Every structure is written in structure tokens, then in C-alpha cells.
Amino acid sequence: MLEGAHVRLEPLEERHADALWAIADDPRIWRWMRYRGNESRDEFDRWWSSVDMGFAHYFDGELVGHTSFLNDRPEDRVVEIGNTWVDPRAWGTGANTEAKYLLLRHAFEDEGYHRVEFKTDAANERSRPALANLPAEFEGVFRKHMLVQGGKRRDSAWYAVIDDDWAAVKANLEARLGG
């Protein structure tokens, strides 16, 4: 478990599935995701089955979404943070910022990673500025990078934080979080 002032990230367990399904009904959550987990329990369960190294995301004790490590390449000391969704009621609260801080701190300080990657749909107007504000370095757009939502092609914008950047990124996030 990773815990901060307001955010607690619990490793996903089967007991989280129904609770996450109960808050996953807003289509804005799934707009940029591979799956449309709000459309049916079957589609949500397809998303659930795809998750590896996931966390139930709590903010001030209330379940607000999910985030995860993925594409772990320990031999290269590289991991990705993604597959993140947060109930829109928690948007703008700092819930996502603190979760990213906890995941980055764990990756760099506890696990000794050298690089943490992020990718998002190149058209995602909320995620891209949020990543730039970490600040994560924009590394380019991979055109037609992946298939999403029934075969639609997605261009993915790639960002990363490397261990050389971590001290400055950490200071920025701690200042933003008030600590």
C-alpha cells in the first residue's frame, strides 16, 4: 500500500471489483481508455482482466478510481504509470496529483527505477497538460500506436521522468501538494 496525506493506493484485489464498478458509470472516465467500462459489466470485466499491478485509488477515505504500474521492464529499470481513471467528482481535488507523486516516489526511491513512462491519447486535452505539469518530459507522438474501443487507431503522446529529473519533479509535486 502507498499512502500520502489524502491518497491511499491499495493493491487491487478481487474485493475492489464491485466497488470500482459502482463508481465507473460516467462515460467521461472511459473516453480515452481502451475499454468503455461504463457500457456494461462485461466490458468493465474485460478492463478488469487487463489490469496488472493495479491499485484501488482512495482520496480522503473514499474510493475514487484506479491507477497502475504497467509495462514493467525490470531488466531495464523502466516502468510505466497509466491505466488511470478517476471519478469526475474527484477531478481538480489533487487526488490524481498525489497518486502520481506516490507512484513516482515508489518507483524511484523504493524500487530503484531509472525511468518512468507515461503515454496518453495525443488528443487528450486533460492528461497532456497534467503530465507536462509534473513535469514529465514530452518525448513525441507515436502515430497509430494502438487500437482502442473496437478498433479505432490511437496516436499516443509519450512522456517520461528519469531518475536525473526526479529531485526537481519531486520538489515540484511536494510544493503543489503543500508539503
Q: What is the rounded distance in angstroms from the CA atom of residue 66 to the CA atom of residue 94?
A: 14
Backbone angles phi, psi at 5, to 5 degrees: -65, -40
pLDDT at 179: 67
Lookup: cell for 17: 471489483
Q: Which helix (H) or strand (E) holds 160?
A: strand 152-162
Cβ atoms of 103 and 1 within 8 Å: the answer is no
Domain holding 12, by residue range, is 2-176
pLDDT block averages, 10 residues each, the chain of length 179 = 98 97 96 93 96 97 98 97 96 96 98 98 94 97 89 94 98 93
For residue 107, the SS3 value is helix
Residue 170 exposed, middle or buried by CB count within 10 Å (0-12, 13-18, 19+)? middle
- Between the alpha carbon of residue 164 and those of residues 80, 93, 108, 109, 114, the distances in Å are 17, 29, 10, 12, 8
Q: What is the rounded distance in angstroms from the CA atom of residue 24 to the CA atom of residue 22?
A: 6
Return the CATH number at 76: 3.40.630.30
> In total, how many domains does the chain have?
1
pLDDT at 67: 98
pLDDT at 150: 78
Cβ atoms of 94 and 135 within 8 Å: the answer is no
pLDDT at 94: 95
